[in-house]
Amino acid sequence: MITMGIGIRVISLSAERLSENIPGKIQYSMQFSLPSGEVRRIKNKINIPFIYTLSSSPPIINVTIRGFVDITGDEKTLSTILDQIRYKKIPQYVFQTAFQYIVFEALYVVRELGIPPPIPMPGRERKDKQFFGEVV
The pLDDT assigned to 136 comes to 47
**Residue-wise pLDDT tens digits, 24-61:** 788 889 999 999 899 999 888 999 999 999 999 899 99
Residue 131 has pLDDT above 50, yes or no: no
Give the largest CA-CA distance in the chain.
73
Beta-carbon contacts of residue 52 (< 8 Å; ≥ 6 apart): 30, 31, 32, 33, 63, 64, 65, 66, 102, 103, 106
76 or 119, which is more confident = 76
Average pLDDT rounded to a whole number, residues 9-30: 90
- pLDDT confidence of 2, banded at 50, 70, 90? low
Domain spans in the chain, listed from the N-terminal domain onward: 4-135
Q: Which CATH number fits domain 4-135: 2.60.120, 3.40.50, 3.30.310, 3.10.420?
A: 3.10.420
pTM equals: 0.79
